[in-house]
Amino acid sequence: MSTPPRVILITGASSGIGRTSAIAVSNAFPSTSNPEPLVLILSGRRESELKETASRCREGTVTEICVGDVSKDADVEKMFKTIKDKYGRLDVLFNNAGIDLLNSVPLEEADMDKFRQVLDVNVMAAVLCTQGAIKLMKDQSPQGGRIINNGSISASSPRPNSAAYTVSKHAILGLSRSTSLDGRKYLITCTQLDIGNAQTAMGGHAAKGSRQADGSMRPEPMMDVSNVGKTIVFLCALDPGADVLSMEVIARGMPYVGRG
């Protein structure tokens, strides 16, 4: 009997943390030597960038590009139908897609249309993908799987004038804890991965200067985004019987403990 493929879905895979994680996973679990063939599902809105991510994965890696907006019900349903019809299972979901449209904007000045957009992408996308993952994971054989949520340090410690992003990441914490509890009976685990100051296009602004609690602007230490990829590899490599409820990976020396 052939071994079923190990299927890993990464949202927001067109750049930054998503792209880095996809490349790292493909290098860590090459299909040619892994007894469980690896399939990487790469999700994002930009087809050309998803193809670029796929091209950077280890040669021979099986990649499936799913172009769409994961904050839209129809796009998520289509993606999970593809996964179910072609591969029949999902072993790991990395809910990584996210935006920050109101960086350093006081709440009283915030554009509410942009605020709602942040919540749609950062929260509803993760909710919809988690729902799709649970439906697959609870019925597949063997039952179960692992869900990883990109939470951010803002899930517990906000930056000044970042209400939209902070609210969205606090919501992800609630989703992670609910998924851990409700997924237990289906052998589904959920990890909240809080990342601080990884050098990406979205998060790299902190290196130039970030608003501090006292109102001043100061550059902050940054870490190479490859460290996030290594963390995702670690979580994907865990035995199904192991659970990591939460994890933080941050740049050494960045303001965090006591910030705000």
C-alpha 48/C-alpha 57 separation (Å) is 15
Going by pLDDT thresholds of 50, 70 and 90, the confidence category of residue 217 is: confident
In the chain, the percentage of residues whose pLDDT exceeds 70 is: 88
Check 87, 165, 186, 256 and give the catalytic one. 165
The secondary structure of 72-128 as a DSSP string is SHHHHHHHHHHHHHHHS---EEEE-----S-TT--GGG--HHHHHHHHIIIIIHHHH
92 DSSP β-pair partners = 8, 146
The predicted-structure confidence for 97-114, as pLDDT tens digits, reads as follows 999 888 888 999 999 999
Query: Sheet containing 145-150: which strands, arranged edge to edge?
Result: 62-67, 38-44, 6-10, 92-95, 145-150, 188-196, 246-250
**From the candidate CATH numbers 3.40.50.720, 3.30.1360.150, 3.30.460.30, 3.20.20.70, the one assigned to the domain spanning 6-250:** 3.40.50.720
C-alpha 165/C-alpha 154 separation (Å) is 7
The predicted-structure confidence for 61-91, as pLDDT tens digits, reads as follows 999 999 999 999 999 999 999 999 999 999 9
Q: Supply the mean pLDDT for the chain.
A: 90
The predicted-structure confidence for 186-216, as pLDDT tens digits, reads as follows 999 999 999 988 987 755 565 566 766 666 7
Two tokens, residue 36:
């469980």
For this structure, is 186 an active site residue? Answer: no
Classify the C-alpha dihedral 18-23-28-29 as positive or negative: positive
Q: What pLDDT does 1 receive?
A: 40
The predicted-structure confidence for 18-66, as pLDDT tens digits, reads as follows 999 999 999 998 655 555 679 999 999 999 999 999 999 998 899 999 9
> What are the boundaries of each domain within the chain?
6-250
Q: How far is CA 122 from the centre of its chain?
A: 10
- Report which of 212, 219, 216 is spatially closest to residue 256, judged by C-alpha positions: 212
Q: What is the pTM of this model?
A: 0.91
